[in-house]
Amino acid sequence: MPASPAFNARPRQRPRDRKEQILLAARDLFVAKGYPNVSMALIAQQVGITAGALYRHFSNKAVLLEEVIAENFAWLDEPVAYTSYDDMVEHVITQIVDRPYLSDLWTHEIRYLPEERRHDLRRRMRMWNQSLVPALRQKRPGLEAVHEELLTWTIQSLMSCVGRQAIHSPMSLKLPVVRAALQAVATVDLVSGDVLAGRQADRMVPASTRERLLIAAAAQFGERGYYDTSMAELGAAADVSGPNLYSYFESKADVLRAVLDRGTHALWIGLDDALAFSGTALEALRKVVGSYIPLARTWASVIEDPTGEHEPAKAAQREYVAEWVTLLQQASPRTGAREARLRVQVALFVIADLHRVPHLSRYESFHDNLAGIVLAVLLEDPVDVTAHR
């Protein structure tokens, strides 16, 4: 008598690498769409399993994000052992080329980790940064401690540009530009950096309720992210109660549009002034960099629309970046259009990244030194970047 089909059927086995498949799919979706826009169902669909099967491995999306971050930043516990600056650069570039998603995970997704995990991750990053110091000292002996820290964070920012999703240039162009920038910033002149800036008094605020809301929104979107900021929190920061809040803006998206418009206008005013009061392209470029850096902590920090829905702001920002590219080509005629655009993108990322390390800006020299670093990234020809500060 033949055995029943049920008796002969072998139990279905899960692939041994199923958990790794889930982590890879989640990582790629978080980078491409952003953590708030990715559901567990979407991750399951990407892997080709049911949502129930996914929950057998991870109880919720927050736990999954924690494991994605933990796995992809495990290398932070392996300090760089090279004492030659050039060897260190090549070693770290090799690591980044193989893991191009790291910078976007760090920049956009770690904010969704629990506070304790965020603090631990940033502590480990600071420790890893310290492992770059011996190689930097080999290239640049005698640096002040504050300059060493500023430059190690700059090196990390430049390295991350190899893999940033927003930079669409081919690797054949990115790698030479990043290498050149790493060499340039390691030798840039820096002004004395050990003087702490005086404690800033509480800033005055405008009487206009709408303006207070915009200022609060620019600060909170830049620090906490658009998705993690609520309308109630914006109202509290600007001392505006619920019903009154909605008489100025219909929704959080409406607030974001206004902030993007305000930031874009501020950038253009600075650029127009730089062009109006400069005699050469190089002088104008210096002034544009100088006008942008103070704005990068507030209005410029949210210049990237997280929703991708505000086309007028995006178009104006593209035109603004194009002005930097034009000035760079005029100041450095041997730099082609594609390379000039890439250098500008890298420079803007460096500014944003260094503003994300708040204690760096405690020193009076921060803006001047950041301007010098940015000009070193931008300019192909040797130029005295400390001039006209």
Domain boundary among 45, 72, 99: 72
The answer to whether the CB of 220 falls within 8 A of the CB of 237 is: yes
3-state secondary structure of 363: strand
* Residue 198 covered by a domain: no
For residue 23, the domain's CATH number is 1.10.10.60
CATH code at position 131: 1.10.357.10
- Are both 110 and 45 inside the same structural domain? no
Whether 367 and 252 map to the same domain: the answer is yes
Domain boundary among 57, 72, 87: 72
**Domain end residue (candidates: 72, 93, 108):** 72
Task: State whether 274 and 334 are in the same domain.
Answer: yes
Question: Is there a domain that residue 124 lies in?
Answer: yes
Q: What is the pLDDT of residues 106-136, one digit of tens each?
A: 888 998 999 999 999 999 999 999 999 999 9
Q: Looking at the structure, do residues 274 and 366 belong to the same domain, yes or no?
A: yes
What is the number of domains present in the chain? 3
By the 10 Å C-beta count (0-12 exposed, 13-18 middle, 19+ buried), 273 is classed as middle
Residues spanned by the domain of 349:
209-378
pTM of the model: 0.83
Spatial CB neighbours of 111, under 8 Å, sequence gap ≥ 6: 118, 224, 225, 228
pLDDT at 302: 53
For residue 90, the one-letter residue type is E
Whether 197 and 184 have beta carbons less than 8 Å apart is answered as no
Q: What's the CA gap between 97 and 103, in Å, rounded?
A: 11
pLDDT (0 to 100) of residue 387 = 52
Cα four-point dihedral sign 288, 136, 352, 157: positive
Tell me which amino acid residue 292 is.
Answer: Y
Is 202 inside any structural domain? no
Q: How confident is the model at residue 4 (pLDDT cuts 50, 70, 90)?
A: very low
Residue 122 is assigned to a structural domain of this protein: yes
Residues 218, 294 within the same domain? yes
* One domain for residues 93 and 112: yes
pLDDT tens digits for range 214-245 = 888 888 887 777 877 889 889 888 888 777 88
Q: How confident is the model at residue 277 (pLDDT cuts 50, 70, 90)?
A: very high
Q: Are residues 233 and 299 in the same domain?
A: yes
Mean pLDDT score, 295-299:
79
Does the pLDDT of residue 201 top 80, yes or no? Answer: no
In a shared domain, residues 82 and 42:
no
52 belongs to a structural domain: yes
Asked if residue 67 and residue 84 are part of one domain, the reply reads no
Residue at 190 is within a domain: no
Do 242 and 220 lie in a common domain?
yes
Residue 3 lies in a domain: no
25 belongs to a structural domain: yes
Least confident of 60-69, 280-289, 356-365: 356-365
Cα separations in angstroms, 337 against 173, 271, 286, 324, 348: 12, 20, 19, 11, 17
Q: Quick one: 258 and 275 in the same domain?
A: yes
Q: Are residues 252 and 163 part of one domain?
A: no
pLDDT at position 16 is 61
If you average pLDDT over every residue of the chain, what do you get?
86
